[in-house]
Chains A and B, each alone.
Chain A
Amino acid sequence: MTAASTSVDRAAAATGRRGWGWSRIVLHVIVISLMLLWVVPTLGLFVNSFRPASDVAQSGWWNALFPPWDFTLDNYSRVIAANDLGDAFINSLFITIPSTVIPVMVAAFAAYAFAWMNFPFKNAIFVAIVGLLVIPLQSTLIPVLRLLAGAGIAGEFLAVWLAHTGYGLPFAVYLLRNYMGSLPREVFESAAIDGANPATAFFRLALPMSVPVIASLAIFQFLFVWNDLLVALIYIGPTDPENLPMTVRVASLVSSLGGETHFLTAAAFLTMILPLVVFLGLQRYFVRGITGGAVKG
């Protein structure tokens, strides 16, 4: 911990986090106004999630901040009482964790090879992988569902783990290869001289030095999967609805005609808690100096 805090102090000194002056004030004004711009829409949703639906339809969210206050927890209690929400939460975890771990690791292997090994067609293969980013998910649904059903795993968690891995890989490989490719060559050369094989160099050097980028990648993959509705609905839905994640349950709080959307306001915050905790938890990997420390260690 002390090592981390000293590196933070050093970073603070390096970037001049301390002190006041005109430029500092301008800095704060810009940062805080951007924060406001970003937070106001969500704040509106947050306030409305505590208001009865008829109030929401008739007056803006800011009206609720003035008396007479008419807040209610009804929206939240309705969401929490929804059918099988607890099970769906566990399902979401079971779906999301491997769907994050597998693509990040598989992509790290591939990115390391693309960055630090030589083989024929390397760039062509790599660019083809990145190009796959543009494939719209929808155009893969039918052929992939046929494959999964043929393999007998449609409806199982395994089906979505594999699918999310496939869908997440192009970006993951792209991001990691870019980062790993910028690591200093000397580090790997001296490791090779010391007799470390590529697996050792990967686990001992490349991975630890890439922690910030792996942390950000993990966050995004986690979020995409956590908030995914389509992939889960299509690959799990028809065969084994017991395995469906929270997103599908939450979406079905809305009536077929689009009524009762006010429950979505509360559901949005309940489903957001975990991703935010993950983000805050991984924040400590975004601190300056962690890469340098790993190199020296």
Chain B
Amino acid sequence: MRYLSWRKLLAVVGVIVLAAAACSPTDGGDEAKEVTVVGSWGGSEQDSFLAMVKPWEEKTGNTVKYTGSRGLGAYLTTAVASGTLPDLAGLPGPGEMAQFARGGSLKPLDDVLDLATYRADTVPALVDLGTVDDKIAGVFIKLSVKGFIWYNTANYSGEAPANWDGVMATDSGDADSLFCVGLESGADSGWPGTDWIEDFLIRQSGPDVYDSWVAGETKWTDPAVKAAFEAFGDVLDNSFGGTAYVNSTNFGDGGNELFTDPPGCLFHHQASFISDFFKKQGGAADGDFDFFVMPEINPDYAGALTGGGDLFGLFSDKAAAKDLLKYLVTADAQQVWADRGGFVSANTKVTTYPNAVEQKSADAIHDATVFRFDGGDLMPATMKAAFFTAMVEFAENPGDLDAILAGLDEVQATAYEAQ
């Protein structure tokens, strides 16, 4: 290290000050026309989202600055608590949306959207789900339809059994077992099991019980909820590889056994998005697989369907941000993503899909007589986390069911207070 002379030092410091002064004004200029968006979409989803906003960018001359992060919960908790927010953001779920809206950081969308068209074009249940205290706080863009029973077209005729007993009574043929279940999903392990419980509960006991369970009014130890767990227990008894396989297999690999020779299983219960995993991880091609919607259990509730979706909300008063949100809910915008595949639209005017599986998924949601949102996603986050963990525990030790449900009741007793 050599000594710097006084004069050199002053010169260097001077250059830095000048440089800093020179670079700061350039930052402010066109910021008004940039819209920052944060969402959980990554990979090909991110590409499709950017393709979706492209026409808007071209029309308005604004730019969308998108950041994808799967840790949306942690990100938004910090951002909201410190008041440093993006313009638009994906929201982890309806529960969080309500919290952010009541806290005042989410802006109401009633004046932003073209309400009449939005209500007319959107699946009604989803409009309601995005509403907090009679104001629209969030919109759905991308949906996933749950409760599909997938099969390999080479192993199964494709005829949907009339009811759930029919599914359970199906001869698994060459396949080792009737079902494949994979619950592992890193920090979210267990969620595929929660979908099973929800699908059983709504078909066994109907939407009213489902709603009161989601709202924390029906206890976990209630016979209706326990019956759903027991039905899932029967599935586990008939699933490939038993407990060890179920808990150590990633949900994305969960359907791979449909396509092995000899097949490990005949059926795989999973949401509409799984077809993408069949193709990328299971080595299947379009046409190798198909699905039927999980059939009724109690005929009174036939046609009930569950689904999930990605919510979007507005955190800023910028005109460009409002304009972008208004654009995102239109059929024109959503058709762009639909055309690129891997997408089921919340907008009923989006009618053409690039392949039969996605077309059938969209039709299923439009044909449903009763549609309910993913129960876990509607619960307070602490309840949801406990639900996930409980599914892992149940798969590991089905005999502990009563203790597991009692534990969930304990969480339920306090989880809803914070809401």
Interface of A with B (CB < 8 Å)? Answer: 53-54, 57-58, 83, 141-143, 145-146, 148-149, 154, 156, 200, 203-204, 207-208, 233-234, 237-242, 244, 248, 251-260, 262-263
**In the docked arrangement, what's the CA distance between A117 and B105, Å?**
51
Closest-CB distance, A104 to chain B (whole angstroms): 13
The main secondary structure of chain A at its interface with chain B is helix
Closest-CB distance, A103 to chain B (whole angstroms): 18
Residues of B within 8 A of A154 (CB): 84
Residue of chain A at shortest CB distance from B315: A238
- CB within 8 Å for A251 and B70 given contacts A57-B281, A83-B46: yes
Q: Mark B30-74, 1 if CB is under 8 A from A, else 0.
A: 000000101111111111001000000000000001111111000
Are A255 and B256 touching (Cβ within 8 A)? no
Residue of chain A at shortest CB distance from B20: A158
Are A57 and B43 touching (Cβ within 8 A)? no
Residues of B within 8 A of A238 (CB): 36, 38, 79, 84-86
Are A254 and B253 touching (Cβ within 8 A)? no
**In the docked arrangement, what's the CA distance between A212 and B36, Å?**
44
**In the docked arrangement, what's the CA distance between A248 and B75, Å?**
12
**In the docked arrangement, what's the CA distance between A140 and B310, Å?**
29
Residues of B within 8 A of A254 (CB): 42-43, 70
Are A208 and B84 touching (Cβ within 8 A)? no
Task: Say yes or no for B147: interface residue by CB 8 A criterion.
Answer: no
Are A83 and B78 touching (Cβ within 8 A)? no
Select which of A234, A242, A251, A253 is within 8 A of B78 by beta carbon.
A234
The main secondary structure of chain B at its interface with chain A is mixed
Closest-CB distance, A213 to chain B (whole angstroms): 16
Closest-CB distance, B398 to chain A (whole angstroms): 26
Are A145 and B1 touching (Cβ within 8 A)? no
- CB within 8 Å for A241 and B83 given contacts A233-B75, A258-B185: no
Residue of chain A at shortest CB distance from B2: A203
Most central of A83, A143, A233, A262 by chain B CB within 10 Å? A233
* Top 4 A-B pairs, shortest CB-CB distance: A252-B68, A54-B283, A256-B40, A145-B82
- CB within 8 Å for A257 and B66 given contacts A53-B280, A233-B75: no
Residue of chain B at shortest CB distance from A257: B273
Q: Would you give 27 A-B contacts (Cβ < 8 Å), ordered by A? A: A53-B280, A53-B281, A54-B280, A141-B82, A142-B78, A142-B82, A143-B82, A145-B84, A149-B84, A203-B1, A203-B3, A207-B1, A208-B1, A233-B67, A238-B36, A239-B36, A241-B67, A248-B67, A251-B70, A253-B42, A255-B45, A256-B40, A256-B41, A258-B70, A259-B43, A260-B280, A263-B43
Residues of B within 8 A of A234 (CB): 75, 78-79
Are A256 and B45 touching (Cβ within 8 A)? yes
Closest-CB distance, A207 to chain B (whole angstroms): 6
Closest-CB distance, B188 to chain A (whole angstroms): 8
Select which of B68, B71, B82, B283 is within 8 A of A146 by beta carbon.
B82
Are A252 and B69 touching (Cβ within 8 A)? yes
Are A241 and B82 touching (Cβ within 8 A)? no
- CB within 8 Å for A149 and B82 given contacts A234-B75, A252-B68: yes
Residue of chain B at shortest CB distance from A78: B43
Select which of A237, A242, A253 is within 8 A of B75 by beta carbon.
A237
Are A259 and B280 touching (Cβ within 8 A)? yes
- CB within 8 Å for A237 and B38 given contacts A57-B253, A83-B50: yes
Closest-CB distance, A297 to chain B (whole angstroms): 13
The number of chain B residues touching the other chain, given as a range, is 35 or more
Task: Say yes or no for B295: interface residue by CB 8 A criterion.
Answer: no
Are B282 and A54 touching (Cβ within 8 A)? yes
Task: Say yes or no for B276: interface residue by CB 8 A criterion.
Answer: yes
Residue of chain B at shortest CB distance from A149: B84
Which of B63-103 touch A at CB < 8 Å? 65-71, 75, 78-79, 81-86
**In the docked arrangement, what's the CA distance between A258 and B45, Å?**
11
Are B43 and A255 touching (Cβ within 8 A)? yes
- CB within 8 Å for A58 and B256 given contacts A53-B280, A207-B1: yes
Residues of A within 8 A of B65 (CB): 240-242
**In the docked arrangement, what's the CA distance between A252 and B71, Å?**
10
**In the docked arrangement, what's the CA distance between A149 and B1, Å?**
37
Closest-CB distance, A4 to chain B (whole angstroms): 19
Residues of B within 8 A of A258 (CB): 70, 185-186, 250, 252
**In the docked arrangement, what's the CA distance between A10 and B85, Å?**
60
**In the docked arrangement, what's the CA distance between A253 and B71, Å?**
13
Closest-CB distance, A290 to chain B (whole angstroms): 15
**In the docked arrangement, what's the CA distance between A252 and B46, Å?**
8
Residues of A within 8 A of B3 (CB): 200, 203
Which of B245-271 touch A at CB < 8 Å? 250, 252-253, 256
Residues of A within 8 A of B44 (CB): 255, 260
Are B256 and A256 touching (Cβ within 8 A)? no
Residues of B within 8 A of A237 (CB): 38, 67, 69, 75, 79, 86
Most central of A58, A83, A241, A253 by chain B CB within 10 Å? A241
- CB within 8 Å for A259 and B277 given contacts A141-B78, A207-B1: yes
Are A256 and B78 touching (Cβ within 8 A)? no
Residues of B within 8 A of A204 (CB): 1
Residue of chain A at shortest CB distance from B24: A156
Closest-CB distance, A47 to chain B (whole angstroms): 17
Residues of B within 8 A of A242 (CB): 65
Are B43 and A244 touching (Cβ within 8 A)? no
Are A248 and B69 touching (Cβ within 8 A)? yes
Q: Mark B1-33, 1 if CB is under 8 A from A, else 0.
A: 101000000000000000000000001000000
Are B43 and A260 touching (Cβ within 8 A)? yes
Select which of B27, B43, B250, B276 is within 8 A of A252 by beta carbon.
B43
- CB within 8 Å for A239 and B84 given contacts A54-B280, A207-B1, A234-B78: yes
Most central of A83, A207, A238, A240 by chain B CB within 10 Å? A238
**In the docked arrangement, what's the CA distance between A207 and B2, Å?**
12
Are A255 and B84 touching (Cβ within 8 A)? no
Closest-CB distance, A203 to chain B (whole angstroms): 4
Residues of A within 8 A of B41 (CB): 255-256
